[in-house]
């Protein structure tokens, strides 16, 4: 990133968008993180002003989410290598997660009914464990705050809320993903630079409510994970379990 662009972004936006300006923004954070993409090859776009604490402490849950989101049915060298690299990073840095990811017999049997491009039976991971769930929620909350800032031009205040719902491809295969979610935003965007784009890895869309205060966001990571995220100062989250609703400052409080 050009130093001039970074200076300008931080000059125009002095407060970190992830802790509601509790700390000054001293870094430019990429959302989604570079590590989400094979060889960290990420086009420009969706950069946000962040403090060094929020930026640095996100890495643990960003590593977990980058691994979970790297699961694919399509088989090619680039995709396979990316998946293997992400898995190795988890095995080395957070080995306790491997037990949590171990599929049950039923999950294995369900997954084996589906085949990948080469005709080989699919494997499965158990994503219901507490550490995986927390990382995926927090990753979604960070995405939501960044997309809210890009959509409205404002960061959330310390009373603002982010509500996160996420679905895995196994939810999608058995029809568990609400259909209106798919139809919500017919024209998904991605990051691109010249002819290069990452549509196969990441697509997103955001919409504002009429008063412009709240937003709905929709994000997919390839065939692996789909997020639906709501952000705003006064969104009604009564329908959701409390742990799915986060507020600015959650990164430094939790990681």
Q: Which residues bind Zn ion (CB under 5 A)?
A: 16, 18-19, 23, 51, 54
Q: How far is the CB of 169 from Zn ion (least distance, A)?
A: 32
Are 75 and 118 in contact, with CB atoms under 8 Å apart?
A: yes
In this structure, the strands spanning 47-50 and 215-221 are: unpaired
Q: How far is the CB of 107 from Zn ion (least distance, A)?
A: 37
Q: How far is the CB of 16 from Zn ion (least distance, A)?
A: 3
Burial level of 94, CB count in 10 A (0-12/13-18/19+)?
middle
> Of 51 and 90, which has the nearer Cβ to Zn ion?
51
> Of 19 and 132, which has the nearer Cβ to Zn ion?
19
Where helices occur in 77-215 by DSSP H, the ranges are 77-93, 96-101, 105-111, 130-152, 169-173, 179-184
Round the CA-based radius of gyration of the chain to a whole number and report it. Answer: 18
> Of 23 and 244, which has the nearer Cβ to Zn ion?
23
> Of 86 and 150, which has the nearer Cβ to Zn ion?
150
Q: How far is the CB of 134 from Zn ion (least distance, A)?
A: 19
Q: Across the strands, what pairs with 163?
A: 230, 245
């Amino acid at each position: 990133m050009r130093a001039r662009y970074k200076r300008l972004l931080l000059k125009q936006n002095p407060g970190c968008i992830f802790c509601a300006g509790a700390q000054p923004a001293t870094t430019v954070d990429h959302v989604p993180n570079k590590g989400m993409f094979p060889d960290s090859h990420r086009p420009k776009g969706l950069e946000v002003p962040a403090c060094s604490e929020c930026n640095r402490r996100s890495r643990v849950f960003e590593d977990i989410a980058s691994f979970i989101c790297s699961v694919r049915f399509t088989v090619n060298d680039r995709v396979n290598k990316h998946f293997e690299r992400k898995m190795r990073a988890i095995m080395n840095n957070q080995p306790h997660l491997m037990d949590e990811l171990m599929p049950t017999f039923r999950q294995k049997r369900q997954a084996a009914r589906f085949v990948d491009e080469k005709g080989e039976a699919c494997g499965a991971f158990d994503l219901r464990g507490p550490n995986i769930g927390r990382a995926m929620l927090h990753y979604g909350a960070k995405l939501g705050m960044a997309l809210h800032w890009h959509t409205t031009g404002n960061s959330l205040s310390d009373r603002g809320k982010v509500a996160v719902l996420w679905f895995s491809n196994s939810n999608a295969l058995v029809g568990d993903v609400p259909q209106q979610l798919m139809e919500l935003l017919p024209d998904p965007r991605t990051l691109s630079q010249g002819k290069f784009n990452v549509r196969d890895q990441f697509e997103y869309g955001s919409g504002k409510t009429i008063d412009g205060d709240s937003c709905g966001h929709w994000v997919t990571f390839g065939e692996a994970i789909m997020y639906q995220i709501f952000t705003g100062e006064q969104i009604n989250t009564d329908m959701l379990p409390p742990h799915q609703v986060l507020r600015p400052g959650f990164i430094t409080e939790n990681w």
